[in-house]
Amino acid sequence: MAYLNTPQSRSIGMGARIYDAWSTYRAEYRQNALYRETTRQLGGLTDRQLDDIGVSRHDIEKLARDQTGSR
């Protein structure tokens, strides 16, 4: 009989798993909130104001994603 020799990962308790999942959720929520706020503020600007800062209206979502690290 052959044995599989793989290194065993350390065992993580249920509390640590829940904490990690909750921390990940909170970080993603904050990122998404920042993305939404960025798009809301930039979307509220006039085309003239956007032109003054060098942003076109169709670039707002991409710019917000790039700046906030959101998906």
Say if CB 20 and CB 56 are below 8 A apart: no
On the question of pLDDT at 8 being above 70, the answer is no
The predicted pLDDT at position 68 comes to 85
In this predicted model, which residue has the larger pLDDT, 59 or 11?
59
User: Within 10 A of 45 (CB to CB), how many other CB atoms are there?
Assistant: 15
What CA–CA distances, in Å, run from 12 to 5, 9, 18, 26? 20, 9, 10, 20
**Residues 27-70 pLDDT 10s:** 999 999 999 999 999 999 999 999 999 999 999 999 999 988 86
